[in-house]
Structure 1
Amino acid sequence: MSVDPPPGLPLPDPPDQSDQSDPASAAEPEWPAGPDLTLAYNRMGSFDIDLAREHMHLDPAALDVFDLRPDEYDGHMAVANRVPAEELERLDTLIRRALENGKEIYGAYFRIRCRDGSRRWLHTQGRLVRDAEGDPYRVIGVVRDATRELDDAALRTELAETRRRLTGMVRRVTALLARATTVDDVTAALKDTEALSNLGAVSVMLGVVENGRVHTVTEGRLGLYVPELQYTRIDARFPMSEVVRTLRPRYITSREEFRRCFPPLWEHIEQLPVASGAYLPLIVQGRTIGALGLLYSRHGGFTGEERNLLVTLSSSIAQSLQRAMLFEQEHDLAESLQRAMLPHRIPEVAGARIAVRYRAARAGRDIGGDWYDVIPLPGGRVGLMIGDVQGHDTDAAAVMGQLRIVLWAYVSEGHSPATAMTRASTFLHELATERFATCTYVEVDLSTGALQIVRAGHLEPMVRRVDGTCVALDTEGGLPLGISNGAERRGGAAYPVTRAVLDPGETLLIYTDGLVERPGATLDEGLDRLAAAVRDGPRDTQELADSLGDLVGEHGGGDDMALLLMRREPAPRPR
């Protein structure tokens, strides 16, 4: 495109290369600084392009921005090959697009090739000058060194991305740790793939202090499992041992530092893609309970922000680990105490196969109130009981222990099922406790199969028939134990008795609600699920009890589960 300038506006003269000294090199800047000096001091120069002659004038500051000496530039648009062809084409396209769209101002970043072969980012901004007919014939603008600006912007972007990634990692791990109730839950949170990726680590290790040693309870994705490193002495030359001793984090920034400072560890990680590591003590109430180790494939140190986030992460892990360890200790103690209160053995009863199962709640740390018992009675009879005291604490366990013994005593003394249940309810009511209990008591005559069933607010028994079908026994029920309706004081029967018959080969099933209740499901759905499991389960009583216990699995709620099965055996044939 060639256009003539309007009258009165001369074309720019070629650059005068006889006096192009760098104003920025002056010993004492003039006051006030002129435009040329201001531009030069800020690594900025000006240009003037004659579109018709395809000639560009650069002032001395612009020449310096392009890393050119005055004698190296002849006014050519290619700027002495400083601008690579692809960048020049992009700038030309940008200007043409501005011309076509009628724009007056354009701007762009581009790269140049310096004298020493390095690359430099520049930014240009130009204004199109048009004649009376609106045709452009000249571009006047500025060009400046934008390398520092873009480097700073890239660094800020990188820092922002790192901050976002690390913050997201801490948030995710913290959310996972908030739900952790066991040490396994804590280690699972640390092995979370998304968390490790956001953290930038290739492996994670968790050690717990036990009896003067650091027990490594989890290894990360590298699969670095070395049996002799599973237990290390606190005074040993290992990073985890060091942070446990000193209560201070240790950051390792190179493979050489690994080799020099921790030779026993180096021989195991030398073949791994590990170049740096961070080890942090897990401190709770001024006491170190463990250590966290993170391995990285990158070289170099850790920024202050990374260290702060890692310390925050280690603090959260320490709190969750301490809570999980206390939970497991308390739960194991509670479960042991609960089992100690249940019958130590189930007596063998002629003519019957009996199986019992108990499973403590995993959602809570306290003791439950579920119980069962089997009582041999005179005349070929046997008493079966199962119950559940309200609550999950030591008080519930204490009430359960007393109630089981009291009901056992009343039945053993020869009281009828209804009387024994009534007296047990009165006993619980007079304890002046706020607890109540549900209970089912069944007295079985094994010679005839006759059943006497008394139910105090409990779930109905089930029977698996000889053909495998499973049905619930329709039984009358009374109030839970400990809740008096005044009938016993008036001489009436507080608990009605339901009579039924258990044929030879049939199995009676009594249980607590922990076997059938599920979060998000109705009780009827749970009972249907149980009936199907009984119907499709093994015929052997012990095997059936095992399969029903597995039915609870990990999806059970926060309740205990007790189960009692009795299969009536056929009478032996006479010789």
Structure 2
Amino acid sequence: MTARVLGSSGTELTAVYVPAEGDGDLQLAETVGGAGVPSGLPARCALSGDSPIATAFRTGRTLWLGPAEGAANAPMGVLPLGGDAQRLGCLVVVDKATDAFGPDRRSLLELHAEQVAAGLEALAVRVVGRPQAPRAGRLGPGLDTLRGGAFTLGLSTGRIDADAQVLELFGIAPEEFDGRVETLLARTAPDDVPALMAIVEPGRLPSPGQQLSFRIRRHNGELRWLSLRCRVPAAADGTPERVLGVVADAAYLRPSADEVAIVRRLSAALAGATTIREVSRVVVEALRAPLAAGRVAVAELEADRFVVTVLDPPEPGAWPEEWRSEWRSEWPDAARHRLPTLEAALRAGHVALWPPGAALEPGLAGIGPGGLAVLPLPADGRMVGVCLVGWEQEHRFGPEERSLLTATAGLAGQALVRAHALDAGHELTTMLQRSLLPRKLPKLPGGVAAARYLPATVGLEVGGDWYDVIPLSDGHVALVIGDVEGHSAGAATIMGQMRTAIRAYAVEGHPPDVVVAHTNRLLVGMETDLFATCCYVDLDMEEGIAWFVRAGHLPPLLRHPDGSTEEMAIAGGPPLGVVADGEFPLTEVGLAPGTVLALFTDGLAESAHLPLEHGLRRVREVFGAADPGDAGRVADDLLGSAKHRHDDVAVLVLRYDGMRVRPTRARWAVWRLPDAVMHARRFTARTLRSWQVTEEMDVALLVVSELVTNAIAHTQGEVLLDLTLAADRLRIAVNDASPRAPVKPVSVDWESTGGRGLLLVEAMSVAWGSVPLSGGKQVWSEIGLQPGERIARGGAGGPAEG
């Protein structure tokens, strides 16, 4: 390390400690200055010791020490280098004046430490070919590129106090500098000025540790990369008043001639990209071949989620299982909090590299087994997305690649923002429709469901295709697919209302034809000119019996266990929203285990160049050739026949497996007598003994007592007690004629005579709740069974007469 590196901190003595070879202790790598300053710095520090240097390294906290804290008669600062994921060393600064480390000085030194850490990481990549902590003996003149300086900018005056190192980087002689920030901005590349100006915009203050890379052109025409880290302290009223920053030479970002050519081609291609998808494809094409990468993904940042815009390769099997679990559209999306590595990279604001075998969260594991690069995409002073580049084989990262990735990230971020501005209407409707579709399909007993949605590739508006999977009571599940006429935000809005209405009517327990009829009357009353088609299926997962209702929609396809396919002959009614009193007949179909059911919208089978009957024939052929063992792959194969789409496409696939152990049920009509609870408990005890459920008998009887007591005391009419034994749970449900849901008390006094029932039910149950039924409700509780309790087939399986 050189004096120009450490001397830029501006203190009397500056030193860097890095991990020593072999034993892992911290070793003094270099010092600068120190004349007349009694530092007492040791040559080595044991990591297990209690010295300030070892403490700061272990804890990751900066220490500011005076003589009273053992700073050897001079103020001392010990600043850890690197983050929690990788500790690189410690920066030690010592000064003479007792007030040398005021608030602003501390902020500047912390920023300087962040710059040194970035350079140490880059040097480690250059020397050993992969990100790792630098070791004593591996450091050399390469860190000279980190030379930099500090400045303070007054926002109200526009005056900047920059030290000699900053002026040298910009190629300005100190005697020629007029103290105006415009003089420095005039040397900055025009494309990078907006990013610098955005730092002080309201609501866009820089994140801690964020690095901004930009280019300046010196008086001799040389183009130089610089890096900036800054903080913007605010006044008492919260308004920014000054900028504290550290600028350093980032020569390790300087691209080679080949990379310059790549960046130029990328810039030219991005200039013609007008949509988010086009921008993402250009980025993927620019990176994958030159870097010999195995996988490349581009994702936008929308609120608290990463929304993928392009994957290469596009096959779901090439990406983590956690992504595939939420693959509801053409590309998946994932919550930010489930990807802490990406969140940390966004906060840091610069390229992050992970070596082979790095411990990553499940959402990133497997993307780059040979190495992973994470590129935050900056624009307008914020992060708008992220790009992931993964390698299959062990990959040695070089400084040239880092420069290419950094340049690509800046161009891609700006292009994404520009595409949003050019395509704002389409982006709004796309986000609206994506938010209205189910984020994740439920797990079903006895079957697997998968869904896909693709927007049209011709035109900019979004349609109203939707799908849903709704778990119902008694082992039933509802499958819904529909299509609202038109392509607009209005169509997407109606789609959301239709989906919500059907879900509400279904959960209330209405038969399938009544669910569709109620939804039809609702749409007629909305005073809209739009109509919708729909196919609704109520499937008994225990018996394999399905009831179909079709409202102007295409008939579903069925793939039998022997591989043969058929277009189902389902009786149909008019589209929703056309006739208020339309009739929607029921069609009953039995499904054998191994059957696959496919529901889809007309965009899959029909286009301007393909008649419907020909399209249905093609879809049926693909359906018959697909592997029925993977419902998601079946859905993907079906979408493969719709490359150029003039309409939206929604596909819902269910593989029906049947239930290996069918639930055992029993029902009791509760007598409205003074001892009704006693009779309900006796019925429950007899039933559970016949089912050989004994370990949880007392808990079940307590739950039955509370639920039946509430129904008898607070409702009128018939009360029914249902017991269901399924797998490892016992379900207790009480139906009554009151639609009013039970309310759990927030708190109960010891002297209260009531209100504890639901609290007891909640404490004894794995889960509990209330669902509406036609004219009433059902309050239910599920109790977990002990391992080894046998599930019997016989017993009190039929309804008991009251």
Coarse TM-score class (shorter-chain normalised): 0.3 to 0.5
- Greater C-alpha radius of gyration: 1
- The normalised TM-score by structure 2 is 0.32
- The normalised TM-score by structure 1 is 0.44
